[in-house]
Amino acid sequence: MVIMRPLAVLRHDLPASLVVFLVAVPLSLGIALASGAPVAAGLVAAVVGGIVAGALGGSALQVSGPAAGLTVVMYETIQTFGWAVTCAITVAAGACQILLGLSRIARAALAISPAIVHGMLAGIGVTIVLGQLHVILGGKAQSSAVENVAALPAQIVAHHDSATIVGLITIGLLLIWPKLPAAVRKVPGPLAAIAVATGVSVVFGMTLPRVDLPGDLLNIHLVPQLPDGGWGGFALAVITIALIASVESLLSAVAVDKMHTGPRANLDRELVGQGAANMLSGALGGLPVTGVIVRSSTNVASGAKTRVSAVLHGVWVLLFVVLLAGLIESIPLAALAGLLVHVGAKLVNPGHMKTVLAHGDLPVYLLTLGGVVVFDLLTGVLAGIGLAVVLMLRRTVWSGIHVEREGDDWRVVVEGVLTFLSVPRLSKVLGTIPGGVTVRLELVVDYLDHAAFESLHTWQQAHERAGGTVEVDEVGHPWFGNGKDGRPTRHRSAARAVPRWLAPWSEWQAAEGVDIPAQQTRRGATEFHRRAAPLLKDTLSGLADGQRPRTLFITCGDSRIVPNLITTSGPGDLFTIRNIGNLVPPGQADASMNASIEYAVGVLGVEEIVVCGHSSCGAMAALADGPPPGPLSTWLAHAEPSAHRLGSATLDGELPDRKGDRLALHNVLQQLDHLREYPSVAAAESAGRLQLTAMYFHVGEAQVYLFDAVERTYRPAGAPVVVPGA
Q: Where are the domains of the chain?
A: 4-134+210-330+345-377, 397-497, 503-546, 548-716
Q: Comparing 25-34, 61-70, 428-437, 605-614, which segment has the lowest mean pLDDT? A: 25-34
Q: What is the mean pLDDT of residues 248-253?
A: 87
Angle between helices 39-48 and 267-283 (to 10 degrees): 140
| Of 487, 560, 689, 712, catalytic | 560
* Residue 217: band (very low, low, confident or very high) from pLDDT cuts 50, 70, 90: low
Q: Comparing 192-196, 477-481, 506-510, which segment has the lowest mean pLDDT? A: 506-510
Write down the mean pLDDT value for the chain.
Answer: 86
pLDDT of residue 637: 93
Say which residue, 350 or 108, is predicted with more confidence: 350
Q: What is the mean pLDDT of residues 556-583?
A: 94
Query: What tens digit of pLDDT does each residue of 159-191 get?
Result: 778 888 998 999 999 899 888 898 887 776 777
The residue length of the chain stands at: 726
CA distance linking residue 378 with residue 70, whole number of Å: 9
pLDDT of residue 34: 66
* Residue 484: band (very low, low, confident or very high) from pLDDT cuts 50, 70, 90: confident
pLDDT of residue 552: 97
pLDDT of residue 110: 63
> Averaging pLDDT over each range in 503-507, 544-548, 720-724, which range is the top one?
544-548
CA distance linking residue 425 with residue 401, whole number of Å: 8
Model confidence pTM above 0.75: no
Percentage of the chain with pLDDT > 70? 91
* Residue 280: band (very low, low, confident or very high) from pLDDT cuts 50, 70, 90: very high
**Which SS3 state, helix, strand or coil, does residue 443 take?**
strand
Closest CA to 267 of 117, 105, 378, 54: 105
Q: 605: alpha, beta or left, given left = phi > 0 and alpha = psi -120 to 50?
A: left
Residue 65 has pLDDT above 90, yes or no: yes
Residue 492 has pLDDT above 60, yes or no: no
Residue 5 has pLDDT above 70, yes or no: no
Q: What is the mean pLDDT of residues 617-626?
A: 91
CA distance linking residue 131 with residue 412, whole number of Å: 58
pLDDT of residue 105: 81
Residue 219 has pLDDT above 70, yes or no: no
Half-sphere exposure of 229 (CA within 13 A, CB side): 0
| Of 87, 96, 612, 617, catalytic | 617
Let me know if 92 is exposed, middle or buried by CB neighbors in 10 A (0-12, 13-18, 19+): buried
Reply yes or no on whether 556 is catalytic.
yes
Q: Are 62 and 44 in contact (CB under 8 A)?
A: no
Give the Cβ contact number of residue 539 at 10 Å.
11
Indicate the fold that domain 397-497 takes in CATH.
Transcription Regulator spoIIAA (3.30.750)
| Domain 548-716 top-level CATH class | alpha beta
CA distance linking residue 61 with residue 53, whole number of Å: 11
| Of 556, 661, 666, 698, catalytic | 556
Residue 434 has pLDDT above 50, yes or no: yes
Say which residue, 57 or 536, is predicted with more confidence: 57
Alpha carbon distances (Å) from 642 to 222, 579, 610, 637: 96, 16, 17, 10
Reply yes or no on whether 573 is catalytic.
no
Tell me the pairing of strands 64-65 and 290-291. antiparallel
pLDDT of residue 491: 66
Half-sphere exposure of 615 (CA within 13 A, CB side): 16
* Residue 338: band (very low, low, confident or very high) from pLDDT cuts 50, 70, 90: confident
pLDDT of residue 726: 43
Query: What tens digit of pLDDT does each residue of 121-133 get?
Result: 788 788 878 888 8
**Cα radius of gyration (the chain):** 37
Q: Under 8 Å CB-to-CB from 591, ≥6 apart: which residues?
A: none
pLDDT of residue 3: 40
CA distance linking residue 717 with residue 566, whole number of Å: 10
Angle between helices 231-257 and 83-102 (to 10 degrees): 60
Residue 4 has pLDDT above 70, yes or no: no
Reply yes or no on whether 264 is catalytic.
no
* Residue 501: band (very low, low, confident or very high) from pLDDT cuts 50, 70, 90: low
Say which residue, 621 or 500, is predicted with more confidence: 621
Which residues are paired to 469 by β-bridges?
438
CA distance linking residue 620 with residue 641, whole number of Å: 12
Q: Comparing 66-70, 612-616, 653-657, 707-711, which segment has the lowest mean pLDDT? A: 66-70
Q: What is the 3-class SS of 24-48, one letter each residue? A: HHHHHHHHHHHHCCCHHHHHHHHHH
Closest CA to 87 of 261, 223, 290, 269: 223
Q: Under 8 Å CB-to-CB from 216, ≥6 apart: which residues?
A: 40
Tell me which H or E stretch contains 473. Answer: strand 469-474
Q: Are 669 and 646 in contact (CB under 8 A)?
A: no
Q: Are 283 and 87 in contact (CB under 8 A)?
A: yes
Reply yes or no on whether 617 is catalytic.
yes
Reply yes or no on whether 560 is catalytic.
yes
DSSP assignment of 136-191, as one string?
Answer: HTTS---SSHHHHHHHHHHHHHS---HHHHHHHHHHHHHHHGGGS-TTGGGS-HHH
Let me know if 205 is exposed, middle or buried by CB neighbors in 10 A (0-12, 13-18, 19+): exposed
Residue 2 has pLDDT above 50, yes or no: no
Closest CA to 292 of 91, 121, 96: 121
Closest CA to 442 of 492, 468, 404: 404
| Of 13, 376, 473, 558, catalytic | 558
Give the Cβ contact number of residue 651 at 10 Å.
20
Query: What tens digit of pLDDT does each residue of 391-401 get?
Result: 887 777 677 88
Closest CA to 69 of 483, 504, 459, 376: 376
pLDDT of residue 719: 67
| Of 342, 477, 614, 638, catalytic | 614
CA distance linking residue 381 with residue 370, whole number of Å: 10
